[in-house]
Amino acid sequence: MDFVKEILERKGQEYYWVTPETKTVDALGLMAEKNIGAILILRNGKIAGIFSERDFARKSIAKTGSTLELPVSEFMSPIMYTVNIKTTARECMELMTDKHVRHLPVMDDEKLLGIISIGDIVNKIMNDQRKMISYLEDYIVRG
């Protein structure tokens, strides 16, 4: 069974964050620099929400003027779902599908450990399948 712990070990626990008051242009700049699709919004060390490229694309349409100078809190998604290191990859995929989210913060009680994306989960599953195929091919060839 694939657990979030294994995904974080492979990916690393590094995560990026800004405050709700951070200008949207600065958050987008950090996301571009780090090549990530979403960034956590922390207020006093606690998760206040998440801001993604998708959030900006969808919500900026309804606003007038320069949206890049607005605080990221104008575009973030405040509703958060979290997982822990014992959550399975399958449970993560189900949660992401049911709640229509692409990123999940990983928590250990109140401590933020990192963030995983649907891409991280798909990569884990694909790597595991490659290993299984290789094992089966080897088994068939060697009898």
Asked whether the predicted pLDDT for residue 13 surpasses 80, the reply is yes
Binning pLDDT at 50, 70 and 90, where does residue 142 land? confident
What's the CATH number where 113 sits? 3.10.580.10
Per the structure, how many domains does the chain have?
A: 1
Torsion of CA 67, 44, 51, 69, to 10 degrees: 10
Asked whether the predicted pLDDT for residue 1 surpasses 70, the reply is no
pLDDT, tens only, 49-103: 999 999 999 888 888 778 999 999 999 998 789 999 999 999 999 999 999 999 9
52 exposure class (CB count in 10 Å sphere: 0-12, 13-18, 19+): buried
Asked whether the predicted pLDDT for residue 43 surpasses 70, the reply is yes
Average pLDDT, the chain: 92
Domain that holds residue 36: 4-142
- Cα distance between residue 88 and residue 73, in whole Å: 31
Tell which phi-psi region holds residue 109, choosing left (phi > 0), alpha (psi between -120 and 50) or beta.
left
pTM score over 0.75:
yes
